[in-house]
Amino acid sequence: MQEKIFEELFENYLQKRLSEVEEQKLMELIRNGEYDDFIKEKIHVMLKENTGSEVMGNEESAYILRCILSEPNTNREVIRLEPEKRNRKKVLRVIFAAASIIALIAIGNSLFFKQKTSIATPVMKQPVIAENTSVDFSGKQLIHLPDGSTVLLNDNSSLKYDQNSFNNKTREVTLTGEAFFDIKRNETKPFIVHTGKVQTKVLGTAFNINTHNSSNNIEVTVTRGKVQVGDDQKIYGIITPNEQIKVNKNTLSFEQNKITASIVTEWKSNYLILDDINMEEAVALISQKYKVQISLANEKIKNCRITASFLNDEDLDHVLKVISSVIETEYRYNKAGTIILDGKGCE
């Protein structure tokens, strides 16, 4: 069963369909060393497809695999390597082709390659820590901020903050696009979202900001708590749940209206976020999203905790396979169509 899970995770990785938790699971299986032959065969196949000929033997492919998997034992972080351009040297072409089909291990921003010739420069996926200490995120994802707040970033959006100043006197971020904020309350350190000239200021609340719309407005909508919207010169207003302030990006004219917040945040319903919750809560969320009944054969399964984000309209079986692999359970359908989760559970 474990072999099938590995092969499925690996194939989904090649198609860029893995969630964060799936990537972590795949890396764990790779590091166990049980699937080296499978990986080497994939390297051979990919190289043959890319070059049209066999460019290495078993010894060379084994060497490449050792290069990719070599690492110290601490501070592990999963990244991907995607070469920006094709190197003319055969050895580097081989390393790039091999590296592009599996996850790599890095220490901080350094990639350890025990290679024979030269060093390939890695391209790290978000977040990226630049020299100016800015931490940047882009694309749909769930972001955990240092203060314990979370941000669900929508597609074609970005968020950044300065890691040196964040959570000192204030907690400030800059948003482009759309995001849903769930801010941990801290009355001594206001949370401020910058969107152009507009500033959204809160102490602890939940709200949505959208700068992507046809009317050239910045829309701030509250689902919980109070939110203050304004700029450097004045405060436009303070809004509470089911209220929205629209600000014109160019003229800074604004209007405040009553609105149904759940309609504004409907885009979140396409995502399934299991953010360090127990399986009883997870089952409820999965059942609600996919309109199915799920039963736990062992009450101890409720005690297991799960962290996973499914942001690409994954089907139900995909979600169940990932969860089963993480908490070591199996699932099946009974005659009535109910899904049964079975396993040893957690203490």
Q: Which residues contact 278 (CB under 8 A, 6 or more apart)?
A: 302, 303, 304, 305, 306
What is the arithmetic mean of pLDDT over 17-33? 74
Strand partners, 339: 294, 333
Q: Per residue in 254-299, pLDDT tens?
A: 999 999 999 999 999 889 999 999 999 999 999 999 999 999 999 9
pLDDT of residue 54: 47
DSSP class of residue 266?
Answer: G
pLDDT band for 73, please (50, 70, 90 cuts): very low
Using the predicted structure, report yes or no on whether residue 24 has a pLDDT greater than 80.
no
pLDDT of residue 265: 95
Which two tokens mark 32?
């166990």
Q: What is the largest CA-CA distance in the chain?
A: 69
Q: Per residue in 86-112, pLDDT tens?
A: 444 444 444 444 444 443 333 223 333
Residue 8 host element (H or E): helix 2-14
Kindly state the percentage of the chain with pLDDT values over 70: 70
Helices (H), 15-139: 20-31, 36-51, 58-69, 90-99
Is 239 within 8 Å of 257 (Cβ atoms)?
no
Alpha-carbon distance of 345 to 196, in angstroms, equals 49
Q: Per residue in 200-252, pLDDT tens?
A: 999 889 999 999 877 799 999 999 999 999 999 999 999 999 999 999 999 99
pLDDT of residue 40: 65
How many Cα atoms within 13 Å fall on the side-chain side of residue 58? Answer: 3
184 φψ region: left (φ > 0), alpha (ψ -120 to 50), beta (else): beta
Number of C-beta neighbours around residue 288 at 10 A? 11
Alpha-carbon distance of 100 to 46, in angstroms, equals 10
The helix, strand and coil proportions of the chain, stated in percent and rounded to the nearest 5, come to 30, 30, 40
Is 309 within 8 Å of 264 (Cβ atoms)?
no
Which two tokens mark 228?
């203050």
DSSP for 194-233 reads EETTEEEEESS-EEEEE--STT-EEEEEEEES-EEEE-SS
Alpha-carbon distance of 61 to 76, in angstroms, equals 24
Alpha-carbon distance of 253 to 220, in angstroms, equals 14
DSSP class of residue 142?
Answer: E
Domains and CATH numbers, the chain: 2-111 (no CATH), 128-266 (2.60.120.1440), 271-343 (3.55.50.30)
pLDDT of residue 39: 73
Per the confidence metrics, is the pTM higher than 0.85? no
How many Cα atoms within 13 Å fall on the side-chain side of residue 106? Answer: 17
